[in-house]
Structure 1
């Protein structure tokens, strides 16, 4: 079923609101008018009844009724829609003006001072019946006053007919006005829609100006502009990532092709072929490590790298890494120093890899004879680990980009070493964020430090059983 547009919905709502208001107003006016006319009719009948009772109060005997005829005619003749019937106790008509009116028998015994209504074909009447005591008469006589209200009812019927005509016209006009107002009011929203429809990978720099946008849509436009900014950044990163992948893979592929072409240029002995294969193997291993690292980052970006949550003593992880890097540090004349204790809830192998990347990076840039310090601290809300080493100060504009893939602060060393592809810090950040932590870098006065912060083990919001469930769900998603 096709959904109605927002303009159509607002127009219909505006039309229904106008129709509802007009209907309530018209019905209220109709009821109040009818009630008002009814009160006027009742007032006329009661006034005439009181005047009739006053005239009858001075009558004595049947002859007196004949003398009162002119008074009755003068009283009732002034009101052409009013008819009066006076009946004796035995049912004889003592007075009738104008003429005889065939009033149903049930209204002759109607309770006194209670107005009744009666419809005879197209005529509508309101009347009142009263028993009046007359001097020298043993039984009271019956006075019936009848008011012809047909004109009133005809007026209300005409009023009601014109109301329905006016309601239909007003509803149609309100629908048109509602459509015009809604369409005018939604013009900024259409502009936002057109801008969103025109967005592509080549136009992510454009932003919707906030000045002409109504207040109600400014939050939407701000969110949309922020989304464009994030998309622009993501596309730039993706574009750079693709270029960097091609750049990094070009060197080993070119090396492999060159070595192979040279070897195949003429016949050589077995030892030469073996040396070439060993050389090719090194390049293939480097490419394999790079591909593994990129797969790890891709899984991390999609939430498929879920660390196990167990108690990990960071000082033990650092101690094992010091044993591993000690020979390399001694070879370069660098001292390794660790201090402090602390534990986190996480995956030992991932934390081992993250800290190893930082130590490897520190060993690469620490001058001979200097010291690399690893400091572990545990506060009330978090556990911290800092890897600090002396060396060249990294400019501030590079600090935030150090964790980008293939990024190097020195453009002159874009090719890197044969074993370094520029993915270590990006992997480290993914591991730290996977443990609900954060990582950042500071560099000043010839010292560079990488800081990692993890939540305390008792503050971790995920239990081992929940981790297993997430792993199972992730495997299902991968299989799907």
Structure 2
């Protein structure tokens, strides 16, 4: 359970969404808090400057010197009577003419006419102080106005608390909304998973529909459907191959069993038993060739065959293979002819095996007295080796399937030569390993097999 949660995509997305919302809410709250604090401080500074101006105006009136001596509290009253408002009037030589400071606060005295300065009261509350010049009668004086903002600090604290609470509520709301949206948004993924769980050999024809899925999942669904196409095709081929394999194995085994039962039904001579053994050995050799061919095909399709590529001369390889089949051609009254020149990279052993399978096939099906031609030609980046012969016409319906395992154009599937029906399949597999292609063309009684190799 813990491992599932640790690797949960929904949990990861929900966590990221909650963190993003919390960070955005916190950032927005911090910005709004700073903007609010700056605006309050600006307004307080404007108000403080206004109060300084009020004191300056009062000091410029007639009788102000007597007012300073007899009623200094009047200047605090001028500032709306706020107890936390402080006023100091300093005369020439630094003599303090009036100092309204009930709490004996110590605050700095800024330069007259300068911007308001900050200070901290004994209670810890922030304060602001500003100074200006005025005239008391005929004498110049310096006026200092200060104020501590204890209520402002409490207001800012409450505002911070509300911002933190709003951020937490936003994060919790985002978490709930993320879970809801992710459950709904990931529903197509669950449908894909449910469909994948229903895939069985008998249900490979089912496909997912992209019509109701979000566009972000189209590539996944298309890849999944393509995988099902490949699985369906592979399973169909495997089923057909299993049936063909059973048929091909059953024939020689049935032959050996039948012949042996007939031979044992009555006493026989040594020559007859010897003939039975020879016949069984031939069938067993055919089975051994078939098994070897199947093992090669299995390794080739799993890409377990390692190619030993080197530059080969096409004409030399064609003549080598033709020389090997020269005796078989003479027995059938056929001629072998090699033409063309080309050099290209290939595995010599596998190349000779592919050519030998094609030549053997051509000799078996060529008309007596005709010629089997082996040709090499280069077309740009491709080298083509072809084996052609004159023989029985092949219907177009059979051409595309001749490279399939055990497929024969002869519906009876009999072959007096003991063919395994895998030769052309091996040719196709060898070409796949080389990155090339194998094709067949038939025109009238002429049949041509062509192997196309990359020239580089």
CA distance in 1, matches of 2:337, 2:131: 117
Counterpart contact for 1:357–1:425, Cα < 8 Å = yes
Counterpart contact for 2:126–2:148, Cα < 8 Å = yes
Correspondence for 2:27 among 20, 24, 28: 24
Matching residue of 2:201: 201
CA distance in 2, matches of 1:20, 1:64: 58
Counterpart contact for 2:58–2:64, Cα < 8 Å = no
Matching residue of 1:65: 68
Matching residue of 2:37: 34
Q: CA deviation at 1:417?
A: 3.2
SS at match of 2:438: strand
CA distance in 2, matches of 1:95, 1:431: 108
Matching residue of 2:418: 419
Consecutive unaligned residues in structure 1, runs of 5 or more: 460-480
Residues 188-207 of structure 1: CA deviation (Å, up to 9, x unaligned): 11111111122122221111
Change (3 A) 1:69 1:225: same
Change (3 A) 1:397 1:68: farther
Tell which deviates more after alignment, 316-325 or 275-284: 316-325
Change (3 A) 1:219 1:397: farther
Query: For this pair of structures, how many residues does the alignment match?
Result: 450
Residues 378-429 of structure 1: CA deviation (Å, up to 9, x unaligned): 233121111222344444443332212111233x232433511110001111
Change (3 A) 1:394 1:93: farther
Matching residue of 1:94: 98
CA distance in 1, matches of 2:365, 2:261: 36
Counterpart contact for 1:108–1:142, Cα < 8 Å = no
Q: CA deviation at 1:120?
A: 3.3
CA distance in 2, matches of 1:61, 1:78: 19
Counterpart contact for 1:83–1:145, Cα < 8 Å = yes
Change (3 A) 1:303 1:41: same
SS at match of 1:120: coil
Alignment of structure 1 residues 256-405 onto 2, 5 Å:
256-405=256-405
CA distance in 1, matches of 2:21, 2:222: 35
User: TM-score, structure 2 length as denominator?
Assistant: 0.89
Matching residue of 2:215: 215
CA distance in 2, matches of 1:354, 1:41: 97
Change (3 A) 1:8 1:73: closer
RMSD: 2.7
Alignment of structure 1 residues 111-190 onto 2, 5 Å:
111-112=111-112, 113=114, 114-121=116-123, 123-130=125-132, 132=134, 134-137=136-139, 141-190=141-190
Counterpart contact for 1:207–1:225, Cα < 8 Å = yes
User: TM-score, structure 1 length as denominator?
Assistant: 0.85
1:5 to 2:4 alignment: no
SS at match of 2:202: coil
CA distance in 1, matches of 2:310, 2:25: 71
Q: CA deviation at 1:346?
A: 2.3
CA distance in 2, matches of 1:347, 1:124: 89
Q: CA deviation at 1:445?
A: 3.5
Residues 308-354 of structure 1: CA deviation (Å, up to 9, x unaligned): 22332222222233333334334434443332112222233321221
1:435 to 2:438 alignment: no
Residues 80-100 of structure 1: CA deviation (Å, up to 9, x unaligned): 76443335556545263xx73
CA distance in 2, matches of 1:162, 1:175: 20
CA distance in 1, matches of 2:220, 2:395: 37
Q: CA deviation at 1:133?
A: 5.5
